[in-house]
Structure 1
C-alpha cells in the first residue's frame, strides 16, 4: 500500500513543469517560511504575552518532536525510495534513513503548535505543512509512511505538551486562588 501510494504521487513528477517547480519550491522553502512564522511570533511576543506563549510552546514542540524523530531515525533505518526503486528524482538527496520525514515533522510541529493558540494562522500553516509532506513523496525522497510518521510524532508531541500545559495552568490557578482566599 505504501509503495503503491508512493508510485501514484511520484509518477506525476517530471510530467508537469509547473507542478515540479511548485513541489521543489515547497520542499525547499516552505519549511523556511514556517520557521519565519515561528520567529515572527517570538518577536511579536516581546510585546504581547499570548504570542510569546505561542512561540515558546511551538519551539518546545519543535525541539521535542525533532529529538524523537532523530531517535526513531537512528533506531529504524529505512532506505529512501530512490535507493530501492527506479523513481522520478528531481533533485539529489542524501541517503540517510527515510523514516520519519524530518521536513514533514518540523513543518507539522510548527504548524500544529501555532494552531493550538491561533486557529486561522494555524490552519494556513497546516496547509503549508501538508504541501511539504506531499512534496517529499513527489520528489522521491520519502514514502507516504515516512510522511505519516512525521505528522504523527508532531501531533502526539503537541497533544501531550498542550495537555501538560493545561494541567500546569490549572495547578497555578488553584495555587493563586488558595493564597488569595
Structure 2
C-alpha cells in the first residue's frame, strides 16, 4: 500500500514541467521559507510573536532530534534505492523514515499554530505541501511523511505542555535581544508615555 501510494504520486513527476519546477522549489526551499516567516514574526511582530518564534524553534529542534533517534533505531531505504523512481533531484541514499524536511516543516508550523492561529493555519497548509513534494520528487514514501507528521504533532504538543517550565528560555532570549538593540516592550513604551 505504501509503495502503491508512492507510485500514484511520483508517477506525476516528469510529465508536467511547471508542476515539476514548483515541487522542486517547495522541497528545496520550504525550510528557508519557514525561517523567513519566523524572522518576520520576530522583527515585525509583537511580544507574543517573539515567544511564538522561540517556542516554534524549540519544537523544530525537538522534532528533528526525535527523527535522529528513530533513524538510529530503524532504517528504511529510500524509494529510489529499491524501486524505479522519477527522481527530479538527486539525494543521498540515507534513511527514508521519517522525513526530516516534513518533520521540520510540521514541527515549526504546529509550533506556530498553537500560539498564532492566523499564521499557523497557512504554515500547516504549506507544511502539508512540503510533505507532498517529498513524495512527488521521489525522496520519500507516504508513510515516511505520515510518520513525520506524527513526530511534528508529538514535538509541538510536548513543547506546548511544557511551555510554563520553558518560559525562562524565550524570556531570556527576548531580554538579551532588547538590550542589544535598545528596543523596549510595548508595555514599557506605554508606561513611559503616561509619564508625559
**TM-score normalised to structure 1 length:** 0.87
Who is 1:35 aligned against? 35
Who is 2:81 aligned against? 83
Number of equivalences: 167
Structure 1: state its 5+ residue gaps: 170-181
1:36-82 alpha-carbon deviations (Å, 9 max, x no partner): 1122223346xx32012101111110111111111111211110000
Equivalent residues of 1:26, 1:132 under 8 A apart: yes
CA distance in 2, matches of 1:123, 1:79: 32
Structure 2 counterparts to residues 127-166 of structure 1, below 5 A: 127-165=125-163
Equivalent residues of 2:109, 2:124 under 8 A apart: yes
Classify 1:137/1:75 alpha carbon distance in 2 versus 1 (closer, same or farther; 3 Å).
Answer: same
CA distance in 2, matches of 1:118, 1:9: 32
Who is 1:119 aligned against? 117
Structure 2 counterparts to residues 1-12 of structure 1, below 5 A: 1-12=1-12
Deviation at residue 22 of structure 1 after TM alignment: 0.9
Structure 2: state its 5+ residue gaps: 168-196
Who is 1:17 aligned against? 17
Deviation at residue 162 of structure 1 after TM alignment: 1.2
**TM-score normalised to structure 2 length:** 0.81
Equivalent residues of 1:38, 1:110 under 8 A apart: no
Equivalent residues of 1:35, 1:110 under 8 A apart: no
